[in-house]
């Protein structure tokens, strides 16, 4: 019988032989490198059996996305302030928190990491991170594609010494890079003066974010050491930032390279043999079919961001038509056993438009952009083929994005906003709510002017006392949204039919409504989720929903019972129902 250690060595070596193929790396000792990686994660003496195709999650799982300093209090480390806020207001509401990069950084609000091994002293220290991890499932960013130009590695690169000398991807400026897929409009290559002369380094995102060279196995070893540190500090969920761009090869688009997928599989193998209940989520803001590829054969990412949901849901609510949202949902395969969709409708970044490509027509995207701009949104751009620039994302807070429709602002902002979250909370997958959606933050236009970054519009830093006052004052929209969202989350967490992998079928109720049916894995609970996505009252016969007449149906949201299935269901603008045959105990 093969021991678990031998099986692990075989798996790791198999990954490595694909990544560092013998034709390109004839002198590489794959077995020795495998042993080194296993030793880094301290699996050389003992490792654990990972769960195979097992759900490590259920309907109780709900996360909040936040920066470490989204809430600040004078004289207090922001991570302490954040922990106090979560323990006071959300301990019984959510069980997970994604703290966006909390490391020393030079730009991009944390995603240009100077030192992966330290906590930004402006936020707190590792003790604060471990305290949060003891109270909530902690999700952290593994900024895998690039690091800061102010990092020690890049300083060493310029001085031609280790560690760092060969850590960054270099490219001849005369090389043909026309096929390279870019998420930005800045020049791809950055000229750098080194002790060995002028060099050109690859910068997918910005010239302060220099791409790491995973073709050098030493870079892989460094990243595995970082993973081990995060595991030791209590990280349970790894968000692999911008992972799609990790492996570069001239003559290809330099996105979704087969070796990129193999790197994800290798990292998963090492992580899950250390912590079988740890989870990997890939962040790939790309068209839908490309995004789904990171599930692999249920052996790659445990979860993928459901990137097409935000633009399609926003389109449905401002146009009053669910046609595209419904068509997309019908095309989405159920997540394979042992995987799930990570659902979100707002984040620290903008509302991505690439995931809407092929799902919305160009004219519809233009309408979406124009409507959002009328609501105060900014637009970020990317370089496209042919030297053209295309809209990459819409920068806006979700609360202000939903202040009206294509006809302009109206009185239904809060109802529309809650409807959007009602859809996300009920869909197949695990929901994650951005902190500024949770408390209904408005556009931070002053911040954009201060930073000259469009994304700052959705990255306001609340004063803790000011936020507490707003949430304690019943008539504020912050308090109204906060309490209603907490209530909806609590309802969701009590329903087995909302398990992330429970059955889901799309309902066909006309374009004014968006609906789907969820059924628990044990098949003893059904929930019919029906949403009015218009600013009109919509009436449909209950008989059209195919409710089983032998059951008593109750709306989980309002508590209303439906005993006579020959009557009509009347939904006010943006009202929704969760009709169930079984009330959770």
HSE of 483, CA atoms in CB hemisphere, 13 A: 11
What is the C-alpha to C-alpha distance for residues 344 and 127, in angstroms, rounded to an integer? 29
Residue 468: both structure tokens together = 């507490």
Is-contact 204 162, C-beta < 8 A?
Answer: no
**What is the signed CA dihedral for 471, 472, 477, 480, rounded to 10 degrees?**
90
What is the C-alpha to C-alpha distance for residues 207 and 373, in angstroms, rounded to an integer? 28
Helix axes 217-232, 258-274, angle to 10 degrees: 40
- Give 21-48 as a DSSP string: -TTT-TT--HHHHHHHHHHHTT-SS---
| Angstrom distances, CA of residue 519 to CA of 259, 395, 545, 578, 581 | 38, 36, 14, 12, 10
Residue 496: both structure tokens together = 């087995």
**What is the signed CA dihedral for 431, 434, 436, 440, rounded to 10 degrees?**
-10
Active-site option among 211, 241, 400, 535: 241
Token pair 């809407």: residue:
356
Question: What H or E segment, with its residue span, contains residue 80?
Answer: helix 78-89
- For the chain, the farthest-separated pair of C-alpha atoms sits apart, in whole angstroms, at 82
Distinct helix (H) and strand (E) counts, the chain: 17, 27
| Angstrom distances, CA of residue 125 to CA of 117, 141, 222, 434, 464 | 11, 16, 21, 23, 20
Question: What H or E segment, with its residue span, contains residue 365?
Answer: helix 362-374
Q: Pairing mode, if any, of strands 561-562 and 553-555?
A: antiparallel
What is the C-alpha to C-alpha distance for residues 486 and 502, in angstroms, rounded to an integer? 22
Q: Quick check: is 241 catalytic? A: yes
Residue 117: both structure tokens together = 């091994």
Buried b (16+ CB within 10 A) or exposed e, 9-18: bebbbbbbbe
What is the C-alpha to C-alpha distance for residues 304 and 333, in angstroms, rounded to an integer? 13
Degrees to nearest 5, angle at CA 532 with 322 and 520:
85
Residue 389 three-state SS? strand
Residues acting as catalytic residues: 241
């Amino acid at each position: 019988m093969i021991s678990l250690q031998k099986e692990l060595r075989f798996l790791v070596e198999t990954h490595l032989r694909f990544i560092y193929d013998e034709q390109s790396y004839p002198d590489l000792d794959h077995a020795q490198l495998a042993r080194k990686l296993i030793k880094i994660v301290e699996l050389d003496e003992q490792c654990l059996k990972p769960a195979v195709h097992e759900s490590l999650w259920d309907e109780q799982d709900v996360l909040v996305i936040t920066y470490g300093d989204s809430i600040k209090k004078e004289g207090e480390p922001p991570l302490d302030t954040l922990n106090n806020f979560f323990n006071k207001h959300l301990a019984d509401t959510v069980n997970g928190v994604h703290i966006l990069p909390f490391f020393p950084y030079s730009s991009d609000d944390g995603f240009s990491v100077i030192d992966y091994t330290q906590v930004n002293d402006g936020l707190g220290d590792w003790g604060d991170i471990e305290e949060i991890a003891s109270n909530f499932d902690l999700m952290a960013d593994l900024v895998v594609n690039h690091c800061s130009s102010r990092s020690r590695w890049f300083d060493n690169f310029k001085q031609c010494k280790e560690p760092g000398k060969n850590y960054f991807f270099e490219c001849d400026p005369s090389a043909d890079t026309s096929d390279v897929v870019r998420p930005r409009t800045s020049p791809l290559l950055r000229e750098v003066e080194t002790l060995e002369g002028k060099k050109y380094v690859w910068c997918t995102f910005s010239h302060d974010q220099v791409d790491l060279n995973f073709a050098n196995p030493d870079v892989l070893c460094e990243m595995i050491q970082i993973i081990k540190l995060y595991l030791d500090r209590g990280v349970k969920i790894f968000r692999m930032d911008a992972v799609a761009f990790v492996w570069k090869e001239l003559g290809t688009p330099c996105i979704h390279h087969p070796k990129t997928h193999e790197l994800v599989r290798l990292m998963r193998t090492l992580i899950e043999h250390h912590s079988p209940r740890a989870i990997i989520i890939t962040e790939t803001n790309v068209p839908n079919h490309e995004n789904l590829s990171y599930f692999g054969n249920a052996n790659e990412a445990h979860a993928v961001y459901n990137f097409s949901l935000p633009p399609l849901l926003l389109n449905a609510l401002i146009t009053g038509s669910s046609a595209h949202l419904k068509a997309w949902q019908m095309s989405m395969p159920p997540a394979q056993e042992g995987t799930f969709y990570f659902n979100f409708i707002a984040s620290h970044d903008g509302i991505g438009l690439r995931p809407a490509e092929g799902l919305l027509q160009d004219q519809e995207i233009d309408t979406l952009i124009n409507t959002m701009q009328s609501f105060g949104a900014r637009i970020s751009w990317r370089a496209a083929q042919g030297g053209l620039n295309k809209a990459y994302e819409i920068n806006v807070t979700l609360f202000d994005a939903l202040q009206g429709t294509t006809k302009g602002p109206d009185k239904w902002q809060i109802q529309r906003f809650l409807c959007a979250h009602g859809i996300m909370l009920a869909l197949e997958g695990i929901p994650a709510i951005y902190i500024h959606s949770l408390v209904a933050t408005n556009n931070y236009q002053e911040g954009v002017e201060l930073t000259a970054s469009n994304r700052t519009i959705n990255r306001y830093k609340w004063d803790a006392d000011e936020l507490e006052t707003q949430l304690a004052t019943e008539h504020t929209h912050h308090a109204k949204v906060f309490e209603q969202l907490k209530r909806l989350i609590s309802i969701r967490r009590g329903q087995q039919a909302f398990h992330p992998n429970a059955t889901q079928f799309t309902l066909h109720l006309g374009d004014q409504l968006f609906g789907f049916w969820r059924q628990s894995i044990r098949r003893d609970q059904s929930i019919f989720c029906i949403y009015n996505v218009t600013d009109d009252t919509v009436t449909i016969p209950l008989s059209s929903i195919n409710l089983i007449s032998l059951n008593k149906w109750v709306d989980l949201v309002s508590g209303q019972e439906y005993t006579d299935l020959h009557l009509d269901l009347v939904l006010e603008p943006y009202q929704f129902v969760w009709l169930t045959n079984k009330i959770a105990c």
